[in-house]
Amino acid sequence: MKKATSDQEETFIQLQAKSVTKRYLGKIQKLLLIRQLFPLITGLQKHRGLSLASKEGDLSFAKEKAQVNLEVSKRLHSLHILTDGDEEDGNVLSLNEEIIPLWHEISDWKGNLMDEFNLHSHLVSILMRHLTALVEQLGFYLSLNSLENRADKEVDSFVLVHLLFGDIPELMEKLAQLRGLATHITVLKRCDTQHKLRIEVLLKDISILKEKFREHSNFIHKHLARDIPSLMTFQVQETQMIKLIHYIKECVLIDTLVDADGHYIFTVASKLIDTQVQIVNEGLDYINHSIYEGFQHWHEEPI
């Protein structure tokens, strides 16, 4: 009787170990894909701005554009390898059907520059959508409804996920669009009505997103200052963002000859975006560690 009971327990442990380990590896795979998506998105965003400036005539941006072009291609190939043979992840990312063909179209573009800018933005939005899908597969949800009804620990993780995968990607994209369009105007040396209206809308969006980011980052900083130190870095850099926005308003959105420094705009905006990516990486490290702790905890639980 004892032998039968022992065999049953062993079989139960084996089945449970298989299930728990499979779930753990699945989560780690999703985190790896999410970690790869962020630099791919920022690479596309940077390529968009560099392409606009260099094709408009400022060849000082051309060398960096070529480097970023190579980086984006490498990252797409890496994602293809990571999802090769994985039907679920392959479907989520739709690399062959949607993403890679769009990138090839962008790389070979010979038409209107603003159409190329918009095509970049379309591809970025597709990748953002896939990012959200991967996050939801991990069991995370990007909604702030009924936040006050959640337990403190759940609120912490809930706001963290919204900050990393909601607030930051949105703010990154608006800053990146602003960077590209404002730099483009410095090359053109004039700001037409279409560009001005588009940038004014971006500035309003950035102002709203910045407040959301500040609210959520302050909340998370109280609990995870050691784990995500770059939150403080970005708070310090917020002064640079204010100065950049003021510079664009005063020196770019003008009716006379534009003599602003495009490299200053591009560099400062890029530093702000890079810090946001660093916040995401630190947040992913924290989530990865939490998932690992959960996996280890199962081994130590009594049956």
Per-residue pLDDT, averaged over 162-179, amounts to: 96
Residue 190 in contact with residue 149, Cβ under 8 Å? no
> For residue 294, what pLDDT is reported?
83
Q: How far is CA 66 from the centre of its chain?
A: 22
Residue that wins the pLDDT comparison between 97 and 162: 162
Of 63, 42, 67, 62, the closest CA to residue 52 belongs to 62
Q: In the prediction, which pLDDT does 48 show? A: 98
Distance CA 254, CA 248 (A): 9
Q: What is the pLDDT of residues 267-289, one digit of tens each?
A: 999 999 999 999 999 999 998 88
What's the whole-number mean pLDDT along residues 145-160?
Answer: 55
- pLDDT at residue 26 greater than cutoff 60: yes
Among the ranges given (26-35, 146-155, 195-204, 205-214), the one the predictor scored with the smallest mean pLDDT: 146-155
Q: Mean pLDDT over residues 182-200, rounded?
A: 96
- CA–CA dist 137, 141 (Å, integer): 9
- The DSSP result for the chain, as a single string, is -HHHHHHHHHHHHHHHHHHHHHHHHHHHHHHHHHHHHHHHHHHHHHHHHHHHHHHTT-GGGHHHHHHHHHHHHHHHHHHHHHHTT-HHHHHHHTIIIIIHHHHHHHHT--S-HHHHHHHHHHHHHHHHHHHHHHHHHTT-----TTGGGS-HHHHHHHHHHHIIIIIHHHHHHHHHHHHHHHHHHHHHT---HHHHHHHHHHHHHHHHHHHHHHHHHHHHHHHHTTT-THHHHHHHHHHHHHHHHHHHHHHTS-SS-----HHHHHHHHHHHHHHHHHHHHHHHHHHHHHHHHHHHHHHHS--
Segment 6-10 shows an average pLDDT of 77
State residue 155 phi and psi, 5-degree precision.
Answer: -60, -45
How far apart, in whole angstroms, are the C-alpha atoms of residue 95 and residue 55?
27
Is residue 159 within 8 A of residue 278, CB to CB? The reply is no
- Sequence-separated (6 or more) residues with CB below 8 Å from residue 65: 47, 50, 51, 54
Q: What is the SS3 assignment for 138?
A: coil
Q: What is the pLDDT of residue 137?
A: 83
What's the whole-model pTM score? 0.89
Region of poorest pLDDT, from 26-30, 127-131, 191-195? 26-30
Q: Any residues with CB less than 8 A from the CB of 292 and at least 6 apart, and which?
A: 24
More confident residue, 126 or 223: 126
